[in-house]
Amino acid sequence: MLKKTILIVDDEPKTREGLKKTLESWSEGKYEIISADSAETAIPILRQKKVSILLTDISMPEISGIEMLKLLKEEGQNLVVIIISAYSEFDYAREALQLGVLNYLLKPLTKRKLIEAVEHALNEQAKREREGKLQKVVDEKLAEIKGPDTEEETPITRAIAFVDQHLEEPFTLKDVAQFVHLNPSYFSALFKEQVNMTFSEYVTRMRLQKAKKLLLFTNLSVSEIAEKVGYSTSKYFIKLFKEYDGQTPSQYRKSTNVNEIEMLKD
């Protein structure tokens, strides 16, 4: 598994080296701890390397910590940031919060406070990473489904619930129509009218969405996942996956850097 990287940016050598030494001792080699003596040095690092946590001073020559964060935000970087500063002024703290800074720590800083802040930041970074991965799983067309305009149970809401709970099992439109006590032809037309997609498309999208989650958050093989989402052969599953997503299940798993994901439990 790739090590997460923590970057320290401070123009004071003694402070910078003290922070680095403390975090290296705490991390016991589990994290890569690197440092930069200025924002000018840090910005290229942040552009080229995936940094999990950024610890930065505010007051630095040429480019301040705040200016660096503004630039990185404009470039679309969503960093987990801890500011370490000798300044307690409200304006600094307010601007830092507006830039999405997670924590604002005042110097001098105890080892305990530093480590607590970094552990909190790592938890936040892991949370954001999970949310980002889960966002890739969500089928936007499924997310738009609101179903019938009623809170009451209807044949279609019951059918949707049945499908969602039985994705691993083989079933047909006729089976579900029988479950909700409707003629198959009428059920098919009613489903498309209320859900805005055919019954077959809904089932396929739901199965592939579940498959994506299994690809991201488990080590199951493609053939095992195919079975878990109701397909008797992996060949047909792979064909469908590629039709809907433009890539094979294996390519999808590889493209999301599965080795960097913390496994989720249902």
CATH 3.40.50.2300 range(s) for the chain read 4-131
- Contacts of residue 33, defined as CB under 8 A and 6 or more positions apart, other chains included, come to 5, 6, 8, 20, 23, 24, 27
CATH architecture of 140-260: Orthogonal Bundle (1.10)
Query: For 195-217, what is each residue's pLDDT tens digit?
Result: 999 999 999 999 999 999 999 88
| Helix segments in 49-144, DSSP class H | 65-74, 90-98, 111-137, 140-143
> In this predicted structure, what is the pLDDT of residue 60?
87
CATH 1.10.10.60 range(s) for the chain read 140-260
Cβ count near 24 (within 10 Å): 14
Asked if residue 149 has pLDDT above 70, the reply is no
Query: SS3 of 36, please?
Result: strand
May I ask the CATH class of domain 4-131? alpha beta
Rg (CA), the chain: 25
pTM for this entry: 0.60
Query: For 82-99, what is each residue's pLDDT tens digit?
Result: 998 887 766 777 778 778
